[in-house]
Amino acid sequence: MLEKLFSLGYSKTFAERYYELWGERALSIAEAMEKPLPRCFRVNTLRIEIPRLTKLLNKKGFQFRRVPWAREGFCLTREPFSITSTPEYLSGLLYIQEASSMYPPVALDPKPGEVVADMAAAPGGKTSYLAQLMENEGIIYAFDVGEDRLKETRLNLSRLGVTNTILFHKSSLYIDELGVEFDKILLDAPCTGSGTIHKNPERKANRTMDDIKFCQGLQMQLLEKGLSVLKNGGILVYSTCSLEPEENEFVIQWVLDNFDVELLPLRYGEPALTKPFGIELSEEIKKARRFYPDKHGTSGFFVAKLRKL
C-alpha cells in the first residue's frame, strides 16, 4: 500500500500520514487525484438567466450535468471545442470554476444589501459568485496580497459585470483598520493545497510539515481577525483546498475552544474527521464537510460554517 503511494510520487512523510488517516482508501484518493477533473462552469445570472444560457450552449453541442450544491453550476460532459473560446464565455455570461469551490459562497448564502468580506479573493471566482448571489446589491470588501492576481481579479469582475465590490491590495490581517462590521465573511484560506495534486503534482513531494505549520498559523491569525470584525449573529465560512487535518479540523477545534461561536451544519460533502491521527476532537466537528476526489469528483476540499454568538 505505502509502496503504491511512493510510486505515485508521494514523500514518505505524506504517504504514511495519508495511510494513517484513511487506511486503504488513501490509495483510491491518491489515484483519483492523478486524473484531470471535469471542466465546470457557473452561469453568471448577473448577465443571463440559467435556461437561456444552457440552451445557447446546447445548440453548440456542449453537454453538461448539474453541480448538486450550486444552482448555477454545471460540469461539462461533452466539450466539442474549448468553452473559453465561445462568445458566451468572452462576454461574461459564464465563469470557469471548480465544482468544490462553488460551495463556500453557497454555504455563506449572502443576501442583497449585506456587508460582506472576502478575505482572500484572487482570482475572483468566489468573489464574483458572492456578488451574483447578492444581485450586485450591498457591498463586498475583497482582499488579496498578490498584485498580478488582483489584476486578474479586476478583469474577471469587470467581464462578469460585478459592481458592488471594492478590491484591496492588502492582507486581510489589516481588515480591522476599515472600522467596518460585517454581516458575513468568506475566508478561503491560504493553504498547502494538498487537495489540488491533479493540477499541482509537485506538491506530492515538495511539501513539508513546516509548510503545514506555517499555513496553520496564518489560518488562525486570519480567523481571529475575521471573527473580530464579524457582527454578533454573523456568519463566517472557512474553506481550504487542503487534505491536512492541521489546516482543517484542528483549526476549527481551536476556534470552538477559544471564541464564542457555534458550528452550523452543512448539507453536502462527507462529515469532517473527529479522530484524525487518533486525536479526539469535538463531535461538533462533523458539521464541517470534506470533499474527496474519489467520491465527489472534485479536488480535496474542506468547508466549515461558523456563527458568532
Provide the sign of the torsion angle of the four alpha carbons 46, 47, 49, 55, taken in this order.
negative
- Whether 118 has a binding-site annotation, put simply, is no
Q: Strand 182-188 relative to strand 115-118: parallel, antiparallel, unpaired?
A: parallel
- Whether 120 has a binding-site annotation, put simply, is yes
Check 40, 191, 215, 241 and give the catalytic one.
241
Name every residue whose Cβ is closer than 8 Å to that of residue 309 and which is 6 or more positions away in sequence.
232, 233, 260, 261, 262
CA distance 162 to 100: 22
Q: What are the angstrom distances between the C-alpha of 161 and each of 140, 147, 164, 210, 230?
A: 14, 21, 9, 41, 27
- Whether 122 has a binding-site annotation, put simply, is yes
- Whether 272 has a binding-site annotation, put simply, is no
Question: At residue 123, what are phi and psi to the nearest 5 degrees?
Answer: -90, 15
Q: Is 241 a catalytic residue?
A: yes
Name every residue whose Cβ is closer than 8 Å to that of residue 265 and which is 6 or more positions away in sequence.
287, 305
| List of E strands, 44-188 | 63-67, 70-78, 94-96, 115-118, 139-144, 165-169, 182-188
- Whether 124 has a binding-site annotation, put simply, is yes
Nearest residue to 143 via CA among 110, 121, 176, 115: 121
- SS3 at position 239: strand
- Whether 269 has a binding-site annotation, put simply, is no
Dihedral, CA of residue 16, residue 20, residue 26 and residue 30, to nearest 10: -40
Helices (H), 182-300: 203-206, 209-228, 249-258, 293-296
* 123 cis-preceded (ω within 30 degrees of 0): yes
- Whether 234 has a binding-site annotation, put simply, is no
- Whether 205 has a binding-site annotation, put simply, is no
Q: Which amino acid is at 283?
A: E
- SS3 at position 168: strand
- Whether 144 has a binding-site annotation, put simply, is yes
Q: Binding site for S-adenosyl-L-methionine: what residues are annotated?
A: 120-126, 144, 188
Catalytic site positions: 241
